[in-house]
Structure 1
Amino acid sequence: MIKHPTSSGDAHKVLAKHGKTFALASKFMGKETSYKAARLYAFCRYLDDLVDERATIQSARNALRETRKHLLSGTGCDPVVADFLSLARDTSMDPALAAILIDGLESDLTTVAIDTQEELVQYAYRVAGVVGLMMCAVMNVKDSRALPFAIDLGIAMQLTNIARDIREDAAMGRRYIPGSWIDRLRARDLVAPSACTQAAVSSGLKKLLNLADDYYMSAALGLHYIPLRSQFAVRVARSVYREIGQLIRERDYNVNESRIIVGNARKVRVSLRALFSEPRESTSDIAEKNCISKLHTPLLGLPGVRVSYEGKPGCLA
């Protein structure tokens, strides 16, 4: 269980142990921002532990709901929740975003059998897209036009996680790849795909990673709305995480061998490419048009999602 980060060192230790890619990226943020990011990560990890480390489903559900209540009321004696509420006040972050995250985590407590792409994107928004919105507050992003792109990066990373962790999730009765993509295979069919089912699984993983790439590319269009130092951090995190998908492709979509990890040497190459070689999009017109694309159709009306009203683009924060 993650303990209350009582110091900068504590928060960074949690980040270094459980989120190596984000720890690398945070080095570009500056001391104050990286500490805030580490505190946010520790809080999100704490919520994950509420789900994974409880003895029963009901006790996990009770813990999540109790945390949700304290977040929305702004009270509670749990030191981790108190630290997050302090962070939220300091950064003008809406604690209701964390409540959405909890709703997503609670949906993992029962058998997961996502059926459509729309359901998948909505789930990814709840457990990762809202974290992108919270990171905007942490990074002191002032332009609300950044919000939809932050959502897109969170969604892209979550889709990557699903591709990487397909076997582990399936062993817990969770199938996030839409059933409509993989001939309605059940979670248990994904733990160790047979020769008969591997083709469907590979096809589903290919669609999943292609969808993730759509969100990664959209996220890149909004980078210029972020303060410069944080831009560097986001570029590194985005590129290194996206590389997981490339490794899965190189394995011909076979994730049965061992956990996919981007090695240190490859991380360095990818990070340098992200910082110095990748094109920097700065045309806001392109960003505005992309923001109202089909990527956000399943999310209309949710916090931070771009909508169109009275014939003009707008952003609901």
Structure 2
Amino acid sequence: MPRKPRPLVASGIMRAPPRQTGGGRERESLVQLAHQSMRRGSKSFALASRLFDKSTRERAWLLYAWCRRCDDIADGQDHGGGLKLDESTARNRIEAIRVLTRRALEGQPTAEVAFDAIGQVATEAGLSADMTEDVIDGFALDAEGWRPRSEADLMRYCYHVAGAVGVMLARAMGVPADDHDTLDRACDLGLYFQLVNIARDVSEDDAAGRCYLPVEWLVEADIPPGEHMRPDFREQLVGMVARLLDMAEAHKAAALFGAGRLPFRQRWAVIAAAEIYGATARDIRQRGPAAWDHKPRTGYFAKLGLIAQAFFAAFKTAPQPDPMPRWTRGELMTMIRMAGPIAPMPTTPLPDEEM
């Protein structure tokens, strides 16, 4: 009688692999490597993060390491170096980010420190897969060469790459998931940072074949697509960037108002980071048409001065802006969900249906 083929693994003993927070790595090692990533990628955020209490500081480093690595994979960079875009592999790179992030959130090792880091902080802070997917969708837009047509498109993008990160950082600070007012203000902080980044990097983005100024703005200014960096259009560009910075200031004011709900050290760190970015925004405005001749830099001692100012500002409660910013977290999330794929029709029979 022929023998039955023997299964490699008996089905009765197959088990799902055990969860390993942080991919099984020691938390201390993850934190140390994440801190190195932040110091290399953003000296300003590394300095401001020192103002947090120890737990929040380490979670911020872990979150940053994941964001930085995702950005680098999407763009073919190493901590913000020269862009090495290859559209033929863009979809594969984004799918790799999704797979590694999903594994990390499931408590599985990824062999990538930054992804093990997001698994660690997600477990500690209660971060969800929806939160990480919102951020990854922003990297996907960059990888496919997307550009905003309208102001609404611009703000949706800013939500993906920065507003959603602000919400995740707030959760890492210990803000409850149902404290929507504070989470909204954390989103405002992220939007502020990203709008200033876009204003600062107009020339750098153009060199990489990117433009985050809405097409509708360019049309209003009579600037042909792809020609906004020409000297002939510099005055119009200055006007559009001033518009960006005005929007940024509105979100900054809302974020500082919300920071009043945070514990002192967290409030101090948020105000300090906002003011350091504020120095960049002021420099862009002051230099006008020459704003992109070289990248704005805020020196170390100037940053220390801003941190000292933030310390005293943290003892006061910032006033509520009137009006609040035009674009809200709720509105942006609604637009994003509406733009997503249509949910499949349910196939479960209704209770009174006969089988």
Larger Rg: 2
8 Å Cα contact 1:181/1:203 also seen in 2 = no
Instruction: Give, in angstroms, the shift of residue 33 of structure 1.
Output: 1.7
Q: Partner of 1:295 in structure 2?
A: 327
Moved more, 43-52 or 4-13: 4-13
1:177 and 2:193 matched: no
Q: Partner of 2:86 in structure 1?
A: 56
Aligned equivalent of 1:167, options 176, 197, 203: 203
1:84 and 2:118 matched: yes
CA distance in 2, matches of 1:187, 1:264: 38
SS at match of 2:227: helix
Report the CA distance shift for 1:6/1:55 in structure 2 as closer, same or farther (over 3 A). Answer: farther
8 Å Cα contact 1:169/1:175 also seen in 2 = yes
8 Å Cα contact 1:40/1:84 also seen in 2 = yes
Q: Partner of 1:108 in structure 2?
A: 142
Report the CA distance shift for 1:43/1:237 in structure 2 as closer, same or farther (over 3 A). Answer: same
Q: Partner of 1:309 in structure 2?
A: none
Q: 1:31-180 maps to which residues of 2 (within 5 A)? A: 31-53=54-76, 56-72=86-102, 74-75=105-106, 77-78=109-110, 79=112, 80-142=114-176, 143-180=179-216
Instruction: Give, in angstroms, the shift of residue 87 of structure 1.
Output: 1.4
TM-score, with structure 1 as normaliser: 0.84
Report the CA distance shift for 1:28/1:302 in structure 2 as closer, same or farther (over 3 A). Answer: farther
Query: Tell me, which stretches of 5 or more residues in structure 1 are unaligned?
Result: 304-317
Report the CA distance shift for 1:103/1:228 in structure 2 as closer, same or farther (over 3 A). Answer: same
Aligned equivalent of 2:255, options 219, 231, 241: 219
1:189 and 2:193 matched: no
CA distance in 2, matches of 1:67, 1:95: 13
CA distance in 2, matches of 1:243, 1:253: 17
Instruction: Give, in angstroms, the shift of residue 119 of structure 1.
Output: 1.1
8 Å Cα contact 1:85/1:95 also seen in 2 = no
TM-score, with structure 2 as normaliser: 0.75
CA distance in 2, matches of 1:187, 1:169: 14
Instruction: Give, in angstroms, the shift of residue 279 of structure 1.
Output: 7.6
1:55-108 CA-partner distances (Å, limit 9, x unpaired): 622323212223224534634542332331221011111132111111111111
1:177-236 CA-partner distances (Å, limit 9, x unpaired): 12322336356324x422x21111111111011111011111111012222211111110
Instruction: Give, in angstroms, the shift of residue 113 of structure 1.
Output: 3.1
